[in-house]
Amino acid sequence: MEDLTLEGALDLLLERVSMIEETESVPLMEAVGRVLAGPVRAWHDQPPFPRSPLDGYAVRSEDIKDASPDHPVCLKVLCETDAGHVSDVCVTPGTAVRIMTGAPIPDGADCVIAQEKTDYGEETAQIYGSVPAGGNYCQQGEDYKAGDLILEKGTTLGAVEAGVMAGLGCSEAVVYRRPRVAVITTGDELIMPGEPLKGGKIYDSNLYTVVTRLKEFGAEIVFADLVNDVAEEAAKMVREAAEKADLVITTGGVSVGKKDIMHEVIRILGCEQLFWRIAIKPGMPTLSAEYDGKLLICLSGNPYGAAANTELLVRPILAKMSARSDLEPKRVKAVCENGFPKKSPVTRYVRANYSDGHVRIPDGSDSSGILSTMCGCNCLIEIPAGTKRLDRGDSVWVVLL
């Protein structure tokens, strides 16, 4: 039986997940990256009153239409009004109100003259220029009117959207619940960072790589741990994790060695196996199953293989679950600045740096067991199956990270 293509594997996985419809209300300052579960409409005009965009004097344009430095107009200053305060005076012919940026423009005035065009007078003001009606005058509702649709359902909230909602008076946002994800790493050789490094042991980098990347994708991590290469123990941990999570990700134990336990784990759990092996490099020995209605995706234990397939397989799933099209992997064309000498009997993904239509493979090892050369990379070069080598100047597709 031929190995699945990446596209075929993704189709199988995406058929098994749906957008999360549950909603929750979260504080607005914690809502960035979340998806609105309903439309947001304005309940008031913004600004809610005519206001001044600068420091100056609120006046009648008719009074200052002939004012100039050589022939200034003198107006009586009735009072001063600052931002956050409302003046109850009315500007009448021959008068003005000293006004500060953001303050409500008083009745009777139809423009604001900048203070730089005056003598800054307090009881009377000499005006050295003219402004037409409506000049330096922010109309009520200039930004939006009460009842206007401000943000559509399904909008991913960013800083600007949060600011707009705050301007509406919202302190919270009703958003879809985030996907809950569990991450389990397997391997007798693994120990947690911070523990003494003993003979034959290595620190668990996969748990940190996958968990932190999933957090960048907006997932809620509800379980994260490592387990030894004992199928019964791993099955128990997967069972516990699936009780809390919508999606369970594991790394390691998916090849054909004596310690590759995940095949036995899915048998113990009675999972429905979806596939094993994908025709890509790295990460070919990827296993997937469904347990208790939850997807179980078992990635390669090789650090680069786990990192690459987190992008290629897990990211699209989270995009669908969280209704975030911005999470879907994006592919662009680029020209190679250097080559890749190896044959690619299956589709290969090579870590690289993309900039302005060009892509460069970093120096150092491309081994799937090495993660350090991925530092600073922002894309994966997609090399089609059957390619003998990649040369400088070749055109390629890259997947942006």
Average pLDDT of the residues in 216-241 = 97
Q: Is the dihedral of CA 16, 21, 25, 28 positive or negative?
A: positive
CATH assignment, 6-20+178-327? 3.40.980.10
Interatomic CA distance for residues 179 and 293, integer angstroms: 14
User: What pLDDT was estimated at residue 174?
Assistant: 98
Average pLDDT of the residues in 121-139 = 97
**pLDDT tens digits for range 21-32:** 999 999 999 999
List, as own/partner pairs, every contact residues 73-77 make where C-beta atoms lie below 8 angstroms and the sequence separation is at least 24, other chains included. Answer: 73/126, 73/127, 74/124, 74/125, 74/126, 74/127, 75/124, 75/125, 75/127, 76/123, 76/124, 77/121, 77/122, 77/123, 77/124, 77/125
Instruction: Let me know the angle formed at the C-alpha of 73 by 71 and 77, rounded to the nearest 5 degrees.
Output: 155
Contact between 329 and 311 under an 8 Å Cβ cutoff? The reply is yes
Topology (CATH) of 23-46+143-176:
Molybdopterin biosynthesis moea protein, domain 2 (3.90.105)
Contact between 288 and 274 under an 8 Å Cβ cutoff? The reply is yes
How many beta carbons lie within 10 A of that of residue 203, not counting itself? 14
User: What pLDDT was estimated at residue 376?
Assistant: 94
Average pLDDT of the residues in 217-238 = 97
Contact between 172 and 28 under an 8 Å Cβ cutoff? The reply is yes
- Phi/psi of residue 36, nearest 5 degrees: -65, 135
**pLDDT tens digits for range 29-88:** 999 999 999 999 999 999 999 999 999 999 999 999 999 999 999 999 999 999 999 989
Which residue is it, tokens 């299956």?
A: 346
- Per-domain residue ranges of the chain: 6-20+178-327, 23-46+143-176, 56-127, 330-400
- Cα dist. 390→236, 301, 334, 386, 400 in Å? 45, 27, 13, 11, 19
Average pLDDT of the residues in 261-279 = 95
Q: Is residue 1 predicted with pLDDT exceeding 70?
A: no
Which CATH number is correct for 56-127, 2.170.190.11, 2.60.40.10, 3.40.1180.10, 3.30.365.10? 2.170.190.11
Q: Is residue 268 predicted with pLDDT exceeding 70?
A: yes
> H/E element holding 108?
none
Fold: same for 6-20+178-327 and 56-127:
no
> H/E element holding 98?
strand 95-99
Interatomic CA distance for residues 287 and 9, integer angstroms: 10
Cα torsion 18, 20, 22, 27 to 10°: value is -170
User: What pLDDT was estimated at residue 360?
Assistant: 97
pTM of the model: 0.86
Banded pLDDT at 142 (limits 50, 70, 90) = very high
Q: How far, rounded to the nearest angstrom, does the alpha carbon of residue 254 sit from its chain's CA centroid?
A: 31
Interatomic CA distance for residues 204 and 195, integer angstroms: 11
Banded pLDDT at 255 (limits 50, 70, 90) = confident
Which residue is it, tokens 């990192």?
A: 307
Q: Is residue 110 predicted with pLDDT exceeding 70?
A: yes
Banded pLDDT at 257 (limits 50, 70, 90) = confident
User: What pLDDT was estimated at residue 175?
Assistant: 98
- Name the average pLDDT for the chain: 95
Topology (CATH) of 330-400:
Beta-clip (2.40.340)
